[in-house]
Amino acid sequence: MRIVSNLITVVIFSIFSSVFAQQEKPDTLIILEAVEIIESPVAPQSYIINSLDRRSIERLPARDVGTLMRRIPNVSGIRKGGAMLDPVVRGFKYSQLNVQLNGGHKIEGGCPNRMDPTAAHVDAEDLRGIEVIKGPFALRYGPNFGGVVNMKTKQPLPRREFGINVGAIMAYESNWNGFKQRLSVDGGNDKVFFSLSGNMKKYGNYKDGNGNEVKSAFEKYNYTAQLGVSPFKDNYLIVSFDRSYGKNVMFPTLPMDEREDDTKLVSLDYKAGQISNTFTAFRAKLYLSDVNHLMDNKERPFSDTVVAVSDIHARNYGYRLDGIFSFGKNDVTFGTDYEHILKDGDRTKTRILEPTMPIMTEKLWNDADIQNNGLFVLYRRTFGKLLLDAAARIDYNRATSGELQLLKMGNVVYFNDDVNSTYANISASMGGLYQFSKVFSLGLSFGRGVRSPDMSERFIILLPIGYDNYDYLGNPQLKPEVNNEVDLSATLKFDHAGTLTGGFFFSYVTDYITAELIPETVAKPQTKGVYGVKRFYNEEHVFLRGFEITYRSPASKKWGVLAYAAWTRGVNPEVTKYIIENGQVTGKETVKNDPLPEIPPLEGTVEFFYRFFDRKFIPNVNLRMVSPQNDISQASAEDKTPGFILLNFNLSYEFNQYLKVTGGVSNILDKAYYEHLNRRIIGGKGNMYEPGRAFYINLFFNI
Amino acid sequence: MKMKHIICILPFLLLLISCQKTSEKQISYIVSKSISGFDVNYRTADGTLIKEKVEIVSAEDPWTYSFVAEEGDIVFLSTIYKDISSAINVQILIDGKVYKQGSSKYDTVSYVTVSGTVPYE
């Protein structure tokens, strides 16, 4: 009976899930009443999907989504502050990744320096899982260049009988003196169901392994209300509203801190299943993201002279409609999507040492506007032992903006009114998974993913937004960037010895978007201390390649081992390096085969755990080994990063269905270290170090 | 049974909606040691820049202006005098403690400007 009940729940959930496409990994369901997790069978995929489920998240000191994602092989994060890390997947970053919520909800951050990337607007406690689909193969989610990051949030579920659940989380983390709390209420019946939840996080500065305090404090609050109805069999409609606030989020590596953030996320999801024998599903999603982002330099030394405050309003709204049709062994999905990004904002500079306190206002974004219409088709068929996936999409992308201009004392510093661009981009992928035997399978995928330039690359007006020390200027006439990728993956699965999976990828990126120095006669730098102005342009081509390998012991054993390793290297065959002397560009030289910047080094992780007391008590030891990064970009003036070894420990104990405790120690050896992707602290203090030893505890209540 | 559990969970709800510490600060601008008056520019609580000509009868008679500000607000005070035999001392106090100060003597050319933002705690 229990199995039947679980199966019914899994079926309902799979219909209800926002990402239950034929080409997607099924979800993990968390049933609050019984506090149990039911794994549905993993559908085979021809390309690599990595995920982090709720149970794994609960074992960790989950401060933000970006930090959590670093647990996924070949996924890293660019750290600029205490939290809100910007994900990097196989060396692809920023708009090279399609980061979204619940399979289609896009969020445009406000900060030009990406202190609030998409993942920063989602609370880690709202997540039921994170899914990373690597490569340009999954084309249902919008334009996909280097991969899709799908953050799946908790959603209300229909129940056979009316009921209400109340859940709460209380957590503390030492070192940061950080607290987080959550309260949620959800309930309903088979027709109407709902959830209400609220989260708060308040973290202070942490100390690194050397005992030095790092300015890393942040405060985040949010509440979510969701209502679902199921008026007919196999028909589900959910309306969701989320409002989140950020306050005093420190970014010591950036010229400003986040003072306030006010974000509203609204979505409407409709799903209908088994409409006819051939029309098996229809899905519709409408969404709106509205971000008001306020940042300033008031806690920087140079605010003694000029107080700068930037106020940005970013919106992203759109939809996706798709239908799945089954013709015998053929599954075909047809769909269309639309995304509209709008961004506007000013920077106000108050010169507080001048007797009349003059105030100047500059445009950071001048009504910048990008629209993207997409049409896509997905195809899947099984030929005996071969699973075949194919996908194609066309995107019609157009962008415009108010004039790109910068005025100073009435004088024109920079002006460009050639701001319109239109592109038609074609992406396609094909992959196969061949099951040679019960033990061994091999996957091979080819894909071409095209992305149009993003807001910053097109319209940024003289701001230091790069890794290096230059002001950056947008180029509205940039061409789209193209990733041509091949992935080879293999799985060895033994019932009593575990599963070994591995994959290799090779990417040939054409029209690679990067930046080059332009003469001061075109644009003069506006930021104190930078070497000049770089403008975005399309480099001919670059290469990326790498691998991931994972071993997982059998789930049936009480003991467990999880081990994984990953490596990526990117190469620019020919790039210009600017020679800097006494803070000025004095020359340039050509560098052959320069490594791409901000690529993490080889690293490996091994976890050992044991399931005591009928899996209620699970201690886990985690050893992470990161090699030095010596493949550094000369053109971007990268520094080498030393390697390090970290030892972590965590445990979870389920007292009963009402109470669960997790906790642990991060960085047990109090190692002073920084990741290669951590930005440098402004003021010449070197790279931002990671936290030293920290103890944490999470209490989960559920009634 | 369920109600009992809900009552148990109420303290967490209360914690979630618990009060925030106030970030209000008492700001005082003080100009002193002038023997004959001065021109002053200062920023008020609502961000307005006020320009005033202040007449002083004695160096023992300081000019003051006070208001309530929040963390991060700009505080700004700038003065100049025209009497070559005069002097001036300007201070910005936050909650009674000197935050910024400056002074000049026999200098009718340069403004004495003190400014900053109310520090975050």
Q: A301 phi and psi, to 5 degrees?
A: -55, -35
pLDDT at A400: 97
Handedness of CA A88, A41, A487, A626 (dihedral sign): positive
User: Is A241:A225 a contact under the CB 8 Å cutoff?
Assistant: yes
Q: Could you give the 3-state DSSP secondary structure of residue A269?
A: strand
pLDDT tens-digit map of A562-578: 999 999 999 999 999 99
Q: How far is A142 from chain B (nearest CA, A)?
A: 37
Dig out the tokens for B119 from the structure: 């520090």
What is the β-pairing status of strands A461-463 and A440-451? unpaired
Question: Which amino acid appears at position A301 of this protein?
Answer: P
For residue A496, pLDDT over 60 is answered with yes
Q: How many CA atoms lie within 13 A of A518 on its CB side?
A: 19
Q: Closest by alpha carbon to A29, among A161, A163, A155, A198?
A: A155
Annotated domain spans of chain A: 2-702
pLDDT band at A628 (very low <50, low <70, confident <90, very high): very high
SS (H, E, C) A202-234: EECCEEECCCCEECCCEEEEEEEEEEEECCCCC
Other CB atoms closer than 10 Å to residue A106's CB: what's the count?
22
Residue type (1 letter), B51? K
**Number of residue pairs across A and B with CB atoms under 8 Å?**
60
What does the pLDDT read at residue A43? 64
Closest CA to A497 of A538, A412, A417, A439: A439
Q: Do A183 and B13 touch (CB under 8 A)?
A: yes
Reported residue count of chain B is 121
Percent above pLDDT 70 for chain A: 94
For residue A469, give the DSSP letter.
Answer: S
- CATH H-level, domain B21-117: superfamily: MmpS1-5, C-terminal soluble domain (2.60.40.2880)
Contacts of A299 in chain B (CB under 8 A): 120
* Distances A127 to A48, A197, A264, A423 between C-alpha atoms, Å: 21, 12, 17, 35
Q: Where are the beta strands (DSSP E) in A495-583?
A: 498-518, 533-552, 559-581
Nearest of A57, A74, A78 to residue A146 by alpha carbon:
A74
Contact call for A356 and B49, based on CB within 8 A: yes
State the DSSP H helix or E strand holding residue A459, giving kind and residue range, or none if neither.
helix A455-459
To the nearest whole Å, the CA of A347 is away from the closest chain B CA by 16
In 3D space, the residue among A502, A458, A497 whose CA is nearest the CA of residue A480 turns out to be A458
3-state secondary structure of A687: strand
Question: Is residue A19 over pLDDT 50?
Answer: no
pLDDT, residue A5, reads: 44
pTM, rounded to two decimals: 0.90
Mutant choice from B6, B78, B110, B117 vs A, greatest count of A C-beta within 10 A: B117
The span from the CA of A7 to the CA of A21, in Å, is 19
- How much is the ipTM here? 0.87
CB–CB of A170 and B12 under 8 A? yes
A331: its two tokens: 């599954």
- Partners of B116 on chain A (C-beta within 8 Å) are 303-304, 352
Write out residues 12-71 of B within 8 Å (CB-CB) of A.
Answer: 12-13, 15-16, 41, 43, 49
Q: DSSP code of A118?
A: G
For B100, the closest chain A residue by CA position comes to A304
The two beta strands, A147-153 and A98-101, are: parallel
Q: What are B38's two structure tokens?
A: 């001065």
What is the C-alpha to C-alpha distance for residues A161 and A632, in angstroms, rounded to an integer?
59
CB B78 within 8 Å of CB B104: no
Task: Name the token pair of A152.
Answer: 């799946």
**Percentage of chain A modeled with pLDDT above 90:** 83
Locate A334 and state its tokens.
């047809």
C-beta neighbour count of A284 within 10 angstroms = 17
What is the DSSP track for B58-119?
-TT--EEEEEEEETT-EEEEEEE---TT-EEEEEEEETTEEEEEEEEES-SSS-EEEEEEPP
Tokens 């009674």 — which residue?
B96
**Residue of chain B whose alpha carbon sits nearest to that of A304:** B116
| Distance, CA of A433 to CA of A47 (rounded, Å) | 8
In this prediction, residue A408 carries a pLDDT of 80
pLDDT value of residue B9: 56
The phi, psi pair for A413, rounded to 5°, reads -85, -40
Under a CB-based contact definition with an 8 Å cutoff, are residues A150 and A122 in contact? no
Alpha-carbon span A213 to A514, nearest angstrom = 34
The pLDDT, as a whole number, for residue A36 is: 35
Give the count of beta carbons closer than 10 Å to the beta carbon of residue B4: 9
What is residue B57's predicted lDDT score, i.e. its pLDDT?
78
Measure the CA–CA gap between A563 and A553, rounded to whole angstroms: 9
Query: In which band, very low, low, confident or very high, does the pLDDT at A413 lie, cut at 50, 70 and 90?
Result: confident
Are the beta carbons of A431 and A446 closer than 8 angstroms? Answer: yes
- Cβ contacts of residue B115 below 8 Å, gap of 6+? A352, A353, A357, B74, B75, B76, B77, B78, B92, B100
Section A606-632 average pLDDT: 95
Asked if A353 lies within 8 A of B6 by C-beta distance, the reply is no
- Which A residues in the span 135-154 are in contact with B, Cβ-Cβ below 8 Å? none
Identify all chain B residues contacting A354, using CB atoms and an 8 Å cutoff.
113
Neighbours of A559 (CB within 10 A): 10
* Residue in B1, B13, B48 to test binding to A, most A beta-carbons within 10 Å: B13
- Computed over its alpha carbons, how large is the radius of gyration of chain B? 22
Of the pLDDT bands very low, low, confident and very high (cuts 50, 70, 90), residue A315 is very high
pLDDT band at B15 (very low <50, low <70, confident <90, very high): low
CA distance A44 to A39: 14
β-strand pairing of A461-463 with A404-408: unpaired
Q: CA Rg, chain A, in Å?
A: 25
Question: pLDDT tens, A214-256?
Answer: 999 999 999 999 999 999 888 999 999 999 999 999 999 999 9
Amino acid at A646: L
Does A354 sit within 8 Å of B6, measured CB to CB?
no
Residue A431 has pLDDT above 70, yes or no: yes
Which pLDDT tens digit goes with each residue over A32-80? 443 333 334 456 778 889 999 999 999 999 899 999 999 999 999 999 9
Rounded Cα gap, residues A423 and A16, in angstroms: 35
More confident residue, A3 or A167: A167
In angstroms, how far is CA A683 from the centroid of its own chain?
28
Per-residue pLDDT, averaged over A251-280, amounts to: 95
Average pLDDT over residues A423-437: 97
pLDDT of A9 over the 70 cut:
no
Whether residue A395 contacts residue A139, with contact meaning beta carbons closer than 8 Å, is answered with no
What burial letters (b/e) apply to B11-29, b meaning 16+ CB within 10 Å? ebbeebeeeeeeeebebbb
- Helix (H), strand (E) at residue A58: helix A54-58
More confident residue, A566 or A17: A566
Residue A444 has pLDDT above 50, yes or no: yes
The size of chain A, in residues, is 703
Across the interface, of B9, B115, B117, the residue whose CB is closest to A298 is B117
Give how far B108 is from chain A: nearest CA, Å. Answer: 14
Which of A269 and A4 is assigned the larger pLDDT?
A269
Confidence of residue A10 (pLDDT cuts 50, 70, 90): very low
**CA A247 to CA A219: how far, in whole Å?**
5
Nearest to A200 among B16, B115, B116 (CB): B16
Mean pLDDT of chain A: 91
What is residue A38's predicted lDDT score, i.e. its pLDDT?
Answer: 33
Q: What Cα–Cα distance (Å) separates residue A454 from each residue in A260, A415, A471, A513, A595?
A: 24, 20, 17, 10, 23
Distance CA A469, CA A474 (A): 16
CA distance A547 to A568: 7
A386-400 and A359-383 as β-strands: parallel, antiparallel, unpaired?
antiparallel
Rounded to whole angstroms, how far apart are CA atoms A437 and A153?
36
DSSP-assigned beta bridge partners for residue A138: none
Does residue A553 contact residue A541 with C-beta atoms inside 8 Å?
A: no
What the block records as the tokens of A198 is 């609220």
What pLDDT is stored for residue A425 in this prediction?
Answer: 97
Sign of CA dihedral B32, B36, B39, B45: positive
Interface mutation target, options A170, A221, A354, chain B, most CBs of B under 10 Å: A354
Q: What is the pLDDT of residue B16?
A: 53
Is the Cβ–Cβ distance between A252 and A293 less than 8 Å? no
Q: Output the CA angle A62-A63-A64, nearest 5 degrees.
A: 100
A377-410 residue pLDDT tens:
999 999 999 999 999 999 999 999 999 988 887 7
Which residues of A582-682 form beta strands (DSSP E)?
Answer: 584-595, 603-610, 617-626, 644-654, 659-666
Q: Domain A2-702, what architecture?
A: Beta Barrel (2.40)
Query: Are B104 and B38 in contact, with CB atoms under 8 Å apart?
Result: no
pLDDT of A685 reads 67
CA distances from A229 to A95, A163, A615 (A): 35, 15, 36
